Amino acid sequence: MPYLKISINKKIENKKELLDSFTKEIAKALGKPEKYFMTSLEDNTQIYFQGDFQPAAFVELRSIGLSENKTTELSKKICDMVEEHLNVPKERVYINFVDIKNTMWGWNGSTF
């Protein structure tokens, strides 16, 4: 049920490895099973940030029961990973956290 979407304005070659790494780390941080975790990576997007097109990323993390108490810790983890694996400085990463009500998340012909 968690969904992590990373949009970045540069070409990424090793997508499979990156998606696997992000899925494992963020699922663990959330305490959610990888089985239900979805991750996407959109590279070469047009992101204009701080007046230029230097490497930047926008990350969305959506999950049922996403606690505000965890967002600071998750922000640090995600920014560290984006900087380490995607070579985007932390100060050029925005993250949007969304806590979704279980009845507003569909799967397998029903909702959670």
Neighbours of 100 (CB within 10 A): 16
> Does 2 participate in catalysis according to the annotation?
yes
30 SS3 class: helix
Amino acid (1-letter code) at residue 103: T
Q: Which helix (H) or strand (E) holds 99?
A: strand 93-100
Catalytic residue, chosen from 2, 33, 55, 89, is 2
CA 76 – CA 96 distance, rounded (Å): 13
Give me the active site residues, please. 2
